[in-house]
């Protein structure tokens, strides 16, 4: 038996998504930039997908731009948002995905911006009061804060952040890669400048994502080379990926409530089972369901000689998950997220992340394997 609990890294593609993609790959091979009938048919597929995504997110189709994934979407929003609006200041947090954090840090190293990172508490909550102080007392800024942390699951109150950014005329970019398809995003009523998503986090294909750009915000292309995406993203479109993205998001929205109930139940059950099975087990991040992403559970295990071997032993036992620990003093390795929240570097941590395909039997199997590994090492 093998159990996959690394859905925050990527999810299995849904069969219905694959079937729609296969039709495009086999039959609709025209270049969407061609003016002949074969090209026009494919262009229609792209625009139908764009309209579907925009409808689900309560946005305009003209605000949806297809990218190669979340990383490109984040880079486009941050770099072009700062450069084209002549901003010299950015605010983010030390918990952001490296697609955001490294981009901002590189721009600071290049002398293009001054960067402030918000303080965070031991559960991964950013300091909203500090954000307001920085916005009030600094120059016009780009604010980049993710909707939910990919390691901890802790959610950021992006409605509150958006309201503050509106008050102080800041651009607001949110990486919603982890929450897209798992929560409703109503972009007509959320004053966000940029928002990023990636299909493979909600049972779509890898290599395709999108960037929402609010119609009130104008930027130049990040990638040049052609007139694709209304002159905003050069390169022949990943047509079957785009079709798969739209289908995956449609399925996610259609079944969101039932999937959320199922997955939250698995997360709660695993927490209970771990507390009963393993002494001194703890949980990183917010545990309140209202403040946490229901697909992610970050577990801190008792300090022991096994260290990084815990994840390796789990893999050998038939469990796929992600792991890490806080960075030790003077070390460049480890999780920047766990380090930022002050996690104990001597305690190994594992991120278990769930999907609609997981079962209670999966959880029982994983907890039993963890019990065997942990108790035999102490």
Residues that are catalytic: 327
Within 10 Å of residue 290's Cβ, how many Cβ atoms?
6
Write the CB contacts of 236 (distance below 8 Å, at least 6 apart in sequence). 31, 32, 33, 226, 228
> Is 181:211 a contact under the CB 8 Å cutoff?
no
Write the CB contacts of 41 (distance below 8 Å, at least 6 apart in sequence). 28, 30
Alpha carbons 141 and 128: distance in angstroms, whole number: 15
Alpha carbons 14 and 2: distance in angstroms, whole number: 19
Under DSSP, the state recorded for 278 is S
Alpha carbons 345 and 307: distance in angstroms, whole number: 10
The end-to-end CA distance of the chain, in Å, is 26
Alpha carbons 174 and 99: distance in angstroms, whole number: 12
- The pair of three-digit structure tokens given for residue 319, joined into one six-digit string: 């469990």
Dihedral-angle region of residue 278 (phi above 0 means left; psi in -120 to 50 means alpha; beta otherwise)? beta
Q: Cα 250 to the chain's mean position, in Å?
A: 18
Alpha carbons 29 and 14: distance in angstroms, whole number: 22
- The pair of three-digit structure tokens given for residue 179, joined into one six-digit string: 């929450």
Alpha carbons 249 and 199: distance in angstroms, whole number: 8
Under DSSP, the state recorded for 189 is S
> Is 88:94 a contact under the CB 8 Å cutoff?
no
Within 10 Å of residue 330's Cβ, how many Cβ atoms?
5
Alpha carbons 327 and 342: distance in angstroms, whole number: 10
Within 10 Å of residue 169's Cβ, how many Cβ atoms?
9
């Amino acid at each position: 038996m093998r159990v996959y609990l690394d859905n925050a890294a990527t999810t299995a593609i849904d069969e219905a998504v694959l079937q729609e993609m296969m039709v495009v790959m086999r039959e609709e091979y025209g270049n969407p930039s061609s003016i002949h009938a074969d090209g026009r048919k494919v262009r229609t597929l792209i625009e139908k997908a764009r309209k579907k995504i925009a409808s689900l997110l309560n946005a305009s189709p003209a605000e949806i731009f297809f990218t190669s994934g979340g990383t490109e979407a984040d880079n486009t929003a941050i770099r072009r948002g700062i450069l084209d609006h002549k901003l010299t200041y950015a605010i983010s947090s030390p918990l952001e995905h490296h697609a955001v954090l490294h981009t901002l840090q590189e721009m600071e190293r290049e002398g293009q911006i001054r960067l402030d990172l918000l303080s965070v508490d031991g559960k991964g909550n950013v300091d909203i009061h500090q954000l307001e102080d920085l916005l009030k007392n600094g120059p016009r800024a780009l604010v980049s804060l993710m909707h939910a942390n990919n390691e901890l699951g802790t959610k950021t109150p992006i409605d509150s952040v958006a309201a503050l950014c509106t008050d102080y005329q800041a651009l607001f970019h949110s990486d919603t890669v982890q929450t897209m398809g798992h929560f409703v995003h109503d972009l007509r009523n959320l004053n966000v400048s940029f928002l990023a998503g990636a299909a493979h986090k909600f049972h779509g294909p890898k290599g395709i994502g999108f960037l929402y750009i609010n119609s009130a915000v104008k930027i130049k292309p990040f990638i040049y080379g052609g007139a694709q995406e209304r002159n905003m993203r050069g390169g022949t479109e990943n047509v079957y990926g785009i079709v798969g993205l739209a289908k995956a998001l449609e399925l996610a929205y259609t079944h969101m409530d039932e999937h959320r109930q199922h997955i939250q139940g698995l997360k709660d059950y695993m927490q209970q089972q771990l507390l009963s099975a393993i002494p001194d087990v703890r949980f990183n991040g917010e545990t309140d369901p209202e403040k946490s992403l229901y697909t992610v559970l970050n577990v801190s295990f008792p300090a022991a000689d096994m260290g990084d071997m815990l994840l390796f032993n789990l893999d050998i036992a038939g469990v796929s998950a992600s792991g890490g620990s806080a960075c030790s003093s003077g070390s460049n390795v480890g999780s920047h997220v766990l380090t930022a929240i002050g996690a104990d570097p001597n305690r190994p941590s594992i991120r278990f992340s769930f999907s609609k395909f997981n079962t209670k039997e999966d959880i029982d199997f994983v907890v039993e394997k963890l019990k065997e590994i942990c108790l035999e090492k102490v």
